[in-house]
Amino acid sequence: MERVPILKIGDILLVSIQVDMSDQTAVALQEDLAERIVATGCHGVIIDITALDIVDSFVGRMLSTIASISRVLDAETVVVGMRPAVAITLVELGLSLNGIRTALNVERGMELIAIERADDDHDEPDDDPVPEPTASP
Amino acid sequence: MALSADESVRLGELLTSRAEPVTQRWTETIARQLRGRLSQAELVRQVQELHRAMVDALSKGAVDLNAEEATELRAVLAEFSRGQARQGFSATETATGVFALKEALLSTLKADQSVETLRDYVAFSAFVDQMGLFTFETFVRTRESLIADQAEQLLELSTPVVKLWEGVVAVPLVGTLDSARAQVVMERLLQTLVDTGSPYAIIDITGVPAVDTQVAQHILKTVVAARLMGADCIISGIRPQIAQTIVALGIEFGDIATKASLADALRHVLRLTGVETSRRQSRREA
């Protein structure tokens, strides 16, 4: 079975999905990722789907699950590199990937996570609603 | 209905022997309805060319317009009706150009009134009808290809994506948005977002004459797709009437930012990205 590699860059875990996702690969990725988040204490997860030609409801649900798991472990998830054709298909299918942050590329994703962390550090005590996604200058 | 072999020969002979009066009458009939939109010399040339092609085809023994021998006649007819279509003549005018031949033939036949002549005339007339229908078809085909070309040109022409600022692109939409155009706009915008790595896009609808639920749907889809990719869209250029229509139709833009003008939208984006603008003392005052 193929495993998806998880790379650690600073405070962020980078997952680049390059293979077709099957049930087993997805479950393995979720387990590996949860373990790595706990082991490294990282606060950001970037999932790069540049190589994916097709994102169906299965992959969409997997992304949502990963985002939820990460959130429980206090890590922010950003999906990056979605292709235009994929985005159009998702919209036509009516899937909106609720609760998932997106960014155009890995660089922007890292900036987004950095901003989120900075915001969280500022107003830690507040039980604040999720702020508007804002990009850096 | 095909001509019999000797009918074809007789029509050929008739056209040859009465060439002068037939072409003259033919030209006159066409000239009457065109009312000087085509020069007399051009008209005479066209009629003579048609006449020559007919005589040619008939002398070779063509009994039908689809026959092998009539290939050149078909080419001449096609050329004639293409020319008419390009110059903006109506379909009726083009077809009448051919049907006028009947009148010309009739006037040359009038003198003798035997049953034979009548039968011949009916046969000739069927042949001319075929020619007319062929002209008609070519005319319509030419027009259709013209329209298709224009639609394609319009599609290419009308969807530019421009860069307004570092990380900000804009699509000024001009003209009615149908599904095909919306698709092109959507694809081009999303591709530009990826290529330039811009996290902000402004969709300017100043040039869209009317916004109905379908147009709104297309715009919303584009915005949602851009969001999925990690870019934010702002809709600008909403004219007062359009704002009223949007509310009357109950279209919800949700949390998508809408601005009255492109300038407002740009200012909004610049504020989000943290760019500050300030006014220097203008040179005129100094």
pLDDT digits (tens, 9 = 90+) for B183-228: 888 888 999 999 998 999 999 998 888 888 888 888 888 999 999 9
Judgement on whether residues B121 and B175 belong to the same structural domain of the protein: no
From B130, B155, B180, give the residue that closes a domain. B155
Judgement on whether residues B255 and B199 belong to the same structural domain of the protein: yes
Q: In the prediction, which pLDDT does A60 show? A: 86
Quote the domain boundaries for residue B70: 5-155
**Distance, CA of B153 to CA of B172 (rounded, Å):** 17
Per DSSP, A47 falls in state E
Residue A73: pLDDT above 60? yes
Looking at the structure of chain B, the number of domains it has is 2
Residue B95 within a domain: yes
Judgement on whether residues B183 and B262 belong to the same structural domain of the protein: yes
Residue B278 within a domain: no
CATH of the domain at B208: 3.30.750.24
Contacts of B230 in chain A (CB under 8 A): 78-80, 82, 101-104, 108-109, 112
Per DSSP, A38 falls in state H
Gap from B168 CA to chain A (nearest CA, Å): 12
Reported confidence tier of residue B115, pLDDT bands at 50, 70, 90:
confident
Domains defined for chain A, CATH in brackets: 6-122 (3.30.750.24)
pTM score of the predicted model: 0.64
**Distance, CA of A25 to CA of A78 (rounded, Å):** 20
CB contact under 8 A, A104 and B193: yes
Gap from A92 CA to chain B (nearest CA, Å): 8
Residue B286 within a domain: no
Judgement on whether residues B237 and B187 belong to the same structural domain of the protein: yes
ipTM given for this complex: 0.73
CB contact under 8 A, A91 and B190: no
Judgement on whether residues B150 and B179 belong to the same structural domain of the protein: no
CB contact under 8 A, A103 and B274: no
Nearest to B173 by CA among B238, B111, B115: B238
Does any CB of chain B come closer than 8 Å to the CB of residue A7?
no
Judgement on whether residues B146 and B255 belong to the same structural domain of the protein: no
From B155, B184, B212, give the residue that closes a domain. B155
pLDDT digits (tens, 9 = 90+) for A18-37: 888 888 888 999 999 999 99
Judgement on whether residues B63 and B145 belong to the same structural domain of the protein: yes
Start-end of H helices in B88-205: 91-109, 115-157, 179-196
Reported confidence tier of residue A137, pLDDT bands at 50, 70, 90:
very low
Reported confidence tier of residue A136, pLDDT bands at 50, 70, 90:
very low
Q: In the prediction, which pLDDT does B190 show? A: 92
Q: Is B183 helix (H, G, I), strand (E, B) or coil?
A: helix
CB contact under 8 A, B193 and A84: yes
Does any CB of chain B come closer than 8 Å to the CB of residue A49?
no
Judgement on whether residues B196 and B246 belong to the same structural domain of the protein: yes
Q: Which residues pair with B203 in a beta bridge?
A: B171, B235
Judgement on whether residues B187 and B113 belong to the same structural domain of the protein: no
From B87, B120, B155, give the residue that closes a domain. B155
Gap from B205 CA to chain A (nearest CA, Å): 21
Number of H helices, E strands in chain A: 4, 5
Judgement on whether residues B178 and B142 belong to the same structural domain of the protein: no
Judgement on whether residues B166 and B119 belong to the same structural domain of the protein: no
CA distances from A62 to A1, A30, A66, A114, B226 (A): 18, 8, 6, 24, 21
Does any CB of chain B come closer than 8 Å to the CB of residue A82?
yes
pLDDT digits (tens, 9 = 90+) for B116-157: 777 778 888 888 888 888 888 888 898 899 899 888 887 776
Judgement on whether residues B150 and B193 belong to the same structural domain of the protein: no
CATH of the domain at B11: 1.10.490.10
The predicted model gives A92-104 an average pLDDT of: 84
> Which of the given ranges, B105-109, B265-269, B281-285, has the highest pLDDT on average?
B265-269
